[in-house]
Amino acid sequence: MSGNSGSAGVTPRVPVVILCGGLGSRIREVSETLPKPMNLIGGKPILWHIMKIYSAYGFHDFILCLGYKGWLIKEFFLNYRTMISDFTITLGRHGNLEFRDHLEEASWKATLTDTGEDTMTGGRLLKVKKYLEGCEHFFLTYGDGLADIDIGDLLRTHLESGLVGTITAVRVAGRFGELEIADGRVMQFSEKPALSSSRVSGGFMVFDSRRIWDYLDDREDLVLEEEPLARMVADRQLGVYGHDGFWQCMDTPREYNLLNTIWESGKPPWKVWD
């Protein structure tokens, strides 16, 4: 499913909300100066890689929930063309730039909004509600995870379910929100169990933007993965999209080094774009 075409020529807007505001305390060894989404994989921020995944499936409308050192993310996009492209500058003529390559991301539209340095995930989402008006569904993911997920198929699964939310379930050992699944729905959500070998929440979520707000309240300390998703589970309104392919977060220096090693191999699985 493309984000730009459908049976009537144009499908409804499906924005991509990316949570970019966390402190990233466990990866400070990599960089004390950058917010986690700006840490580089193959010379470009992991945030850029995430956006490229969605863009490859035709979804170019992004809402970035900023927090810790969000101004650095704003600076990156304000200077995006010069940071990404080769260019020639005539030093005697201020501002005279000649870009030497085609900008693949010319269709991207990014709304960058400060959602507070200490705000939790549920609070961040509620703060961007005004930017989601007029759309029926939206994607939501974290600014530190990569996957070779079929975004179009994920959206189809969500739409066909008719549920309020759909989360991607991946297989990873412990540390993340464990999912108990039955009949294509989440039956129990346990945030960060001590040990797990079953499926866990890997981000790459989709929500019904008309109904999800019933599960949120106006608190900056509201954690989406706790009370809101638990209530959704209790109402049997949280679906699942099983992903057995590549998935990896960047939460520690070891994972940062792993992702860079995979990129340098020349065959990064998450590079679903040309």
What is the reported pLDDT for 195? 44
**Could you tell me the two tokens for 142?**
């974290």
Whole-prediction pTM: 0.86
* Model pLDDT, residue 271: 97
Tens digits of residue pLDDT in 67-109: 999 999 999 999 999 888 898 988 876 668 888 888 899 999 9
What is the per-residue pLDDT across 31-55, written as a single tens digit (0 to 9) for each?
668 899 999 999 999 999 999 999 9
| Cβ pair 138, 17 in contact under 8 A | yes
User: Which residues does the chain have with pLDDT short of 50?
Assistant: 1, 4-10, 174, 194-196
16-89+103-263 belongs to which CATH class? alpha beta
Q: How far is CA 158 from the centre of its chain?
A: 17
d(CA 138, CA 132): 8
Residue 160 CB burial class (10 angstroms; 0-12, 13-18, ≥19) = exposed
Cα of 134 vs its chain's centroid, Å: 21
State the pLDDT at residue 177: 52
pLDDT of residue 25: 63
pLDDT at 28: 58
Alpha helices per DSSP H over the chain: 46-56, 70-78, 80-84, 121-127, 151-161, 227-234, 253-264
